[in-house]
């Protein structure tokens, strides 16, 4: 009883001081937190210390060969013409011709299927549009085993179909994938971006 009375008396006498002390500490802590927030905000806005590119850089575009263990049977015409057996003439080859054991064809990078069509020369074709103005074109596919349609979002390595012999301009080359890579609508050498094993 005596102890409690003593405590009550202490609170009665000094309670106001205690509350004031707590309030002062709380205000001090708030001020410190607020000023450090302000400092970090200023740091974020400083272009010299935090260049905008490091904040908003797009994810890198990763390309890979669109067939597993692919073998190149005809290369891109980087600096010469290739003989087209089917057409009996030397001509520019705007892509690489690939074969593999199972002829399965995969998207070379993340993107969106922007065209699916067929014509006499190229056979069944799928076009995938990627970031940075890249497009990849897959020709001579089997029309009956396509796994994508226009508007589909595809991830790097997603299966899109199977290579066949539907490209009549390359008929005598047999079943293969004719693969093209374009940047700004210009055909470029896919081997500049893809690691071909037998190149
Ligand atoms: Zn070809």
For residue 1, what pLDDT is reported? 46
How many whole angstroms from 93 Cα to the centroid of ligand 1? 6
**Quick one: 95 and 162 in the same domain?**
yes
Q: Where are the extended beta strands (E) located within the chain?
A: 71-74, 82-84, 89-91, 96-99, 104-106, 111-119, 123-129, 134-141, 153-154, 159-162, 177-183, 186-188
How many whole angstroms from 108 Cα to the centroid of ligand 1? 17
Residue 182 pLDDT class (50, 70, 90 cuts): very high
Q: Does any domain span residue 121?
A: yes
For residue 169, what pLDDT is reported? 93
- Look up the CATH number of the domain holding residue 146: 2.70.70.10
Of 196, 122, 111, give the one whose Cα is nearest residue 160: 111
Give the range with max mean pLDDT: 5-9, 72-76, 136-140: 136-140
Dist. CA 74–CA 76, nearest whole Å: 7
How many whole angstroms from 82 Cα to the centroid of ligand 1? 10
Q: What is the CA radius of gyration of the chain?
A: 33
- For residue 101, the Cα-to-chain-centroid distance in whole angstroms is 27
Whether residue 12 is predicted with pLDDT greater than 80 in this model: the reply is no
Whether residue 171 is predicted with pLDDT greater than 60 in this model: the reply is yes
Whether residue 34 is predicted with pLDDT greater than 60 in this model: the reply is no
**Quick one: 6 and 47 in the same domain?**
yes
**Quick one: 83 and 172 in the same domain?**
yes
Dist. CA 102–CA 67, nearest whole Å: 9
Whether residue 11 is predicted with pLDDT greater than 80 in this model: the reply is no
Torsion angles phi and psi, residue 7, rounded to 5: -65, -45
- For 136, the domain range is 71-192
Q: pTM of the entire structure?
A: 0.70
Q: Does any domain span residue 180?
A: yes
CA distances from 31 to 28, 34, 77 (A): 5, 5, 68
As given in the structure block, the two tokens for residue 41 are: 């905000």
How many whole angstroms from 62 Cα to the centroid of ligand 1? 23
SS3 2: helix
Residue 80 pLDDT class (50, 70, 90 cuts): confident
How many whole angstroms from 110 Cα to the centroid of ligand 1? 23
The label of the residue with tokens 């700004």 reads 184
> For the ranges 31-35, 90-94, 133-137, 157-161, which has the lowest average pLDDT?
31-35
How many whole angstroms from 178 Cα to the centroid of ligand 1? 4
Whether residue 23 is predicted with pLDDT greater than 60 in this model: the reply is no
Count: domains in the chain? 2
How many whole angstroms from 74 Cα to the centroid of ligand 1? 7
């Amino acid at each position: 009883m005596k102890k409690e009375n003593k405590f009550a008396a202490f609170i009665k006498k000094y309670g106001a001081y205690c509350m004031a002390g707590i309030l002062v500490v709380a205000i001090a802590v708030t001020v410190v937190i607020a000023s450090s927030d302000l400092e970090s905000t200023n740091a974020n806005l400083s272009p010299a210390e935090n260049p905008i590119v490091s904040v908003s850089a797009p994810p890198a575009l990763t390309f890979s060969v669109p067939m597993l263990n692919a073998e190149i049977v005809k290369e891109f015409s980087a600096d010469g013409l290739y003989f087209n057996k089917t057409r009996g003439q030397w001509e520019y080859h705007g892509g690489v011709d690939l074969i593999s054991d199972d002829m399965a064809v995969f998207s070379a990078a993340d993107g969106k299927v922007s065209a699916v069509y067929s014509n006499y020369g190229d056979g069944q074709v799928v076009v995938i549009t990627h970031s940075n103005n890249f497009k990849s074109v897959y020709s001579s596919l089997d029309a009956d085993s396509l796994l994508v349609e226009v508007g589909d979002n595809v991830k790097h390595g997603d299966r899109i179909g199977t290579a066949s012999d539907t490209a009549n301009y390359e008929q005598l080359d047999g079943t293969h994938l004719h693969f093209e890579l374009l940047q700004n609508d210009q055909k470029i050498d896919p081997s500049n971006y893809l690691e071909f094993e037998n190149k």
